[in-house]
Structure 1
Amino acid sequence: MSYLARVRTQNPLVHNITNLVVAPFTANGLLALGASPFMAYAHEEVADVAKMAGAVVLNIGTLDDKVVQAIRLAGQSANANHVPVVLDPVGAGATAYRTETVQMLVRELRLTVLRGNVAEVANVIGENWSIKGVDAGQGEGDRIGIAERAAQKLGCVVVITGREDVITNGQTTFLAQNGHALLTQVTGAGCLLSSIIGAFAAVAPAGEELLGSVVEALTFYGVAAEIAAERTAHLGPGSFQIELLNQLALVNPELLAQRAQVRQVGGVAG
């Protein structure tokens, strides 16, 4: 059974501590996929919600001290209860506060997946890459190498999204080539992807099967975006955003298999 089919059969609960800009879009996207979103932030309950969840997705998009503490509490509970943790380090490298916060989180928490653009991931592990706001700036370097080094350093699957998405556990590495440029014109598209990764991770055991589930999550999201773009050609990003939600519900495992563009690239020894 594909991971997509598992998600729709198991309806995993995904606990999201995400940013204010994207919460409704993220919740609607998870519902369209077939997962169950839980948007809990209160210090009094985040540990309990994380314990019952299939996955916990932590997003630093709109930070303050209360959010940071909620993220820490949820992450600690998820770790204690063997619940997968996905971290989206939005804007890491843009300000000292963001960078210091995310570096503290990766020291304190055991991550299952880290997903960001190349600048964010580089800054998480202390490597230099320019960033403009929450978008990756121009830089020099090997995106695959940065992803693999991050995966080895953090002991988790790392996803670097871009024109081609890099997915690696530090030893085995894939490039996923589905997707569409309109995703960059919809705020929260990357944040929603992180939560979808959480839903797929929730239905996969650890190890190589976890890596496979994350690869399928990226491919699924990219295929949904391609079809949404085709169906809303010349209508603009607003129509694309709505159709993306439609396609998250409509893309099935057979269509996904037909359209998937994924290839393995040279991994490195651990």
Structure 2
Amino acid sequence: MNTRPPLYPPFRAAKSLTQLHSLSPLVHCMTNEVVQSFTANILLALGASPAMVVEPCEAAQFSALADALLINIGTLHQVRADAMLAAINSANQAGTPWVLDPVAVGGLTYRTDFAKQLLALKPAAIRGNASEIMALSGLEAMGRGVDSADDSLTALPAARELAQQTAAIVAVTGEVDYITDGRQDWAVTGGDKLMTRVVGTGCGLSAVVAAFCALDGDRLDHVASACLIMSQAGKVAADRVAGPGSFTPAFLDYLYTLRAEDFA
């Protein structure tokens, strides 16, 4: 049985959030077409700057200029895959951290093979649900599209192994989020089931993880801070609204008004 890791201390998120507000990182989001607008609004609300550049020659040029790169394979096709590879190679040459969101990996062969190919290109962080992380590490998983049928704690050993193999911070998210560098783990609680009734909260989290990976200092702390901030935003927003229609504006409003002292 897996031992539950300690809860991530909120005061550490305060430090990371202060850094984010000071830097206002430019995040190159190569994300799926369903969530582009919501992802951009989440980053803007937090104080980061989003950009969505997808043409292969431009993607390579822009990723070298950005502070971080997000690779989300939700709506993957060959042209998009070529652009992603170009952007990643350029980012690696420039020392720009990039984050992998392996959407629906394990259920479909093309995207699974592509995501595993990307692991050799050294992501700074990987953020996925339990089924995605387990499938990416080579284990049998029970995903259904973007939904996970596996528990995040069950996937923690796979997340640790994946972190050790890639030197990336791995965040496996669900009812409880677990963030690991392969040696040290943190747990983040909170959130709300209403977050699963709105398209893009997980993809938005991956973009926020990318923004926090642009910060100097302990990357494990920064990724855990991203998870805590988004989880807290989901919980607060859900407490204030009646359903998914009003959740999104409440969620964005909370991120916009959030300050470091709220976690001190």
Say whether the fold is shared (TM-score over 0.5): yes
Instruction: Tell me, yes or no, if structure 1 residue 147 matches structure 2 residue 156.
Output: no
1:28 equivalent in structure 2: 41
Counting only pairs closer than 5 Å after superposition, residues 71-110 of structure 1 correspond to structure 2 as: 71-107=84-120, 109-110=121-122
Higher mean C-alpha deviation, range 123-132 or range 30-39: 123-132
Partners in 2 of 1:119 and 1:251 — Cα distance? Answer: 31
1:121 equivalent in structure 2: 133
Match of 2:204 among 192, 197, 200: 192
Partners in 2 of 1:43 and 1:140 — Cα distance? Answer: 35
Partners in 2 of 1:179 and 1:131 — Cα distance? Answer: 21
Higher mean C-alpha deviation, range 158-167 or range 146-155: 146-155
Instruction: Tell me, yes or no, if structure 1 residue 256 matches structure 2 residue 263.
Output: yes
Distance change >3 Å, CA 199–CA 172, structure 1 → 2: same
TM-score when scaled to structure 2?
Answer: 0.92
Runs of at least 5 residues in structure 1 that lack an aligned partner in the other structure: 258-270
Q: Deviations over 1:196-255 (max 9, x none)?
A: 0111111133xxx111111111111111111111111xx211101111111111121121
SS of corresponding position for 1:160: strand
Please provide the CA RMSD for this pair: 1.4
2:238 equivalent in structure 1: 229
TM-score when scaled to structure 1?
Answer: 0.90
Match of 2:248 among 241, 244, 250: 241
* Runs of 4+, deviation exceeding 3 Å: 138-141
Match of 2:143 among 123, 127, 131: 131
Runs of at least 5 residues in structure 2 that lack an aligned partner in the other structure: 1-13
Q: Deviations over 1:44-65 (max 9, x none)?
A: 2111111011110000000100
SS of corresponding position for 1:45: helix
> Percent identity among equivalent residues?
37
Q: Which has the higher contact order (CA 8 A, sep 6+)?
A: 2
CA shift for structure 1 position 22: 0.1
Distance change >3 Å, CA 140–CA 195, structure 1 → 2: closer
Q: How many residues align?
A: 251
Partners in 2 of 1:196 and 1:61 — Cα distance? Answer: 17
Partners in 2 of 1:165 and 1:142 — Cα distance? Answer: 11
Partners in 2 of 1:139 and 1:242 — Cα distance? Answer: 29
1:219 equivalent in structure 2: 228
